[in-house]
Amino acid sequence: MDANDKDRNLVATLYVNRASVLQKRDHLVECLRDCNRAVQICPSYAKAWYRRGKVNVSLENHDDAVHDLTIAKNRESSLAGKKQIESELKIILDQSNRTSNKVVQHTKNNLRVSDESVQVQLQCVTTPDKGRGITSQYDIPEGSLVHSEEPYAVTISKHCRETHCHYCLNELPADAIPCTSCSIPLYCSRRCRGQAGGQVFKNCPMERNINDSVFDNLEEYISQITLDNDFYPEDEHIFEHKHECKGVHWPVILPSDVVLAGRVLVKSVQKNGVSMDVPNLLGKLELSHNYSQVSPESKLESHIYAIVLLYCLQHSYGFELPINGASVSQVVILISQIRVNSLAIVRMNSNNYGQSDHVSSGSTCTVEQVRVGLAIYTAGSLFNHSCLPNIHAYFLSRTLMIRTTEFVPSGYPLELSYGPQVGQWDCKDRLKFLEDEYSFRCQCSGCSELNTSDLVINAFCCVDPNCPGVVLDNSILNCEKQKRKHLPAVPQCSSSAPHLQVGKLSSDYIGLVAYLLLEENNRTSRYGPGYCLKCGSDRDLESSYATVDEAWIYIRRLQDAIISKEISRAVLLDASRFLGLLRSILHAYNKSIAEILEKLYGHNHIVIGYELVKLSSIQLSLDDHNAVDTISRLAAIFLHYFGSHAETMFPHLLFLQREALKLPQ
């Protein structure tokens, strides 16, 4: 859009107006970027140069400020305006003689990936029980980066459309920019917009005064200050948003997996040629699907979405594939493939990040994983599932990174978790989740062998306060009975491996909490739901569940009161009383504190790291010097799981370390 009004481009005017607001809100770097966009669109716009000079003064970048205000003075048409700029220039020149310039990074490349390279040779193998999977040809040390991959296709989650960049999926800055055509997707930079398929503005013609030496290198100067603002793709680059950008906003309405299916289909067409039919296009992806296992309602839904998607692609993209039974059925299979093989791209968020006052106020710092996008990784989809994984997946922008969390011997499968791991949910709930979402019954060691975590995570304690045994309900007990012939084996290849530690701990504790479950021919009548698996004592499960439900009502009431900062004495007393009841009913390991979790996960599991974030924030608020050791251990765990990317994935770690240095000696 090149709408001009008295030599000023309308879009440039909007950027300058927003820059003014950003400067008032102290978003100086974002303000500077908006000024860069304005002068790139309309180099003769004096107000844009003036605003850029002012923000450079605030950033103490005096050389650029002098240059910007000099250009603004020469482009200013009014005499009063010129005099005002001249007076400000004198002040800045005096300041620049007393202070040194700060180096300001004008643009941040959100697409940068670490230089760390993958040094491991992986191979795809086929096994009778799990089909295709990934193994290594050689032994792999723990903490090794084994895989890095860009997505075949990706789309943003619905709830993140206003908060995260639609291309790199990082958080949007205050100066987010929309697609130049449909204005729906928001991007963190012109580069991300260009990668996705946004149009690039053309600069307004610049009036050049050959007698004015200031403008001799103006074009070069603009090029320098707007470096990396634009992206000029190569001929073979495939734009992921272009087919959605025709005035119809169907990607906003359709579910994320259907939008992703459209992107996969369009990319396949562009890579392989529009003359190919859908079966040939999708066959090249070699992705598994679970269409035959899903419910009739889900099948009908997929058929409806497939027809709608093909119709939208035909009318917005000029898709030449016909809408007939063959093409619809193949798109239905594609949707099913995406639902089984897509990976959720997550970001780690920490509350109160970078706020010093949360330490002094005693607020607990927590870490949560937010799903910001959905993507297909063709090689990444080959890694099989285990509830006791030996690899960990994370994301740098859109790039999938996979790192080992333990020593993996040659030929041993590399497996990640598709959902909750051992220690997060009990076996019964994990099996149901995997069957519902992925249509397979997990047979990993965590689901086929007895382990302490599955026995205690949702268990009641024995009515005898001196007995450490567990009391299970019928559904959990039946699930554990299926596993009682398979005690955990502890291989000797690596005693430090996290899931092997869990196996060792399980062997130590199963007999302590569930001795009766280990007896092959247990015929005692005091063995079943509601009975202690250690001594056989009876507990009233119905009454126990009712007490737990009532207790959580009062505990949640206290949580709401803390959030609203309206805590009454009655609320505190009720929560305290019912917390005591919970302690008398639930098993001692049915808790979420770091010491207990170590028995469920192992010493260096990432879940322990998340709990240590909470613990360290509490210790810092109490000026407890133990926080130093806690943060050191936390840093070691994150280094174990994220390697050289630890600080990128969890920048709050640096904040905690700085706060620890402030502790009184």
DSSP, residue by residue, 608-645: HHHHHHHHHHHHHHTT-THHHHHHHHHHHHHHHHHGGG
Torsion on CA atoms 474, 479, 480, 482, rounded to nearest 10? 120
Burial (Cβ within 10 Å: 0-12, 13-18, ≥19) of residue 349: middle
Among residues 602, 600, 604, the alpha carbon closest in space to that of 639 is found at 604
Which residue in the block uniquely carries the two structure tokens 């419910």?
Answer: 295
Report pLDDT digits (tens) over 293-326.
888 999 999 999 999 999 888 887 777 777 888 8
CATH number belonging to domain 4-98: 1.25.40.10
pLDDT at 351 (0 to 100): 61
Given a cut of 60, whether residue 477 has pLDDT beyond it is yes
Is 94 or 136 the better-scoring residue by pLDDT?
Answer: 136
Instruction: Report the range of poorest mean pLDDT among 226-235, 260-269, 277-286, 387-396.
Output: 226-235
The pLDDT-based confidence of 186 (bands split at 50, 70, 90) is very high
Report pLDDT digits (tens) over 167-181.
999 999 999 988 877
The C-alpha angle 448, 449, 451, rounded to 5 degrees, equals: 130
| Structure letter (DSSP) for residue 419 | S
Report pLDDT digits (tens) over 514-561.
888 877 565 565 678 999 999 999 999 999 999 999 999 998 998 888
Structure tokens at 588: 């001692």
Q: Count CB neighbours of 233 within 10 A.
A: 11
Among residues 340, 357, 257, 343, the alpha carbon closest in space to that of 293 is found at 340
Which residue in the block uniquely carries the two structure tokens 């991300």?
Answer: 192
Instruction: Report the range of poorest mean pLDDT among 22-31, 155-164, 196-205, 630-639.
Output: 196-205
Distance CA 370, CA 169 (A): 11
Instruction: Report the range of poorest mean pLDDT among 248-252, 421-425, 574-578.
Output: 248-252
Sign of the C-alpha dihedral, residues 150, 116, 498, 500?
positive
* Three-state DSSP state, 90: helix
Domain ranges of the chain: 4-98, 155-205+233-344
Q: Starting at the edge strand that comes first in sequence, how are the strands of the sheet with 367-376 ordered?
A: 153-156, 367-376, 343-350
pLDDT at 582 (0 to 100): 87
The letter for the amino acid at 524 is: T
Look up the pTM and report it.
0.80
Q: Please list, in sequence order, all residues whose beta carbon lies within 8 angstroms of the beta carbon of residue 430, skipping any fewer than 6 positions away.
A: 387, 419, 420, 422, 442, 446, 447
CA-to-CA separations, 469 to 459, 466, 472, 555, in angstroms, rounded: 9, 9, 10, 26
Given a cut of 50, whether residue 210 has pLDDT beyond it is no
- b/e code 114-144 from CB counts within 10 Å (16+ = b): eeeeeebebeeeeeeebeebbbbeeebebbb
393: enclosing H helix or E strand: strand 391-396
Among residues 453, 406, 400, 459, the alpha carbon closest in space to that of 430 is found at 453
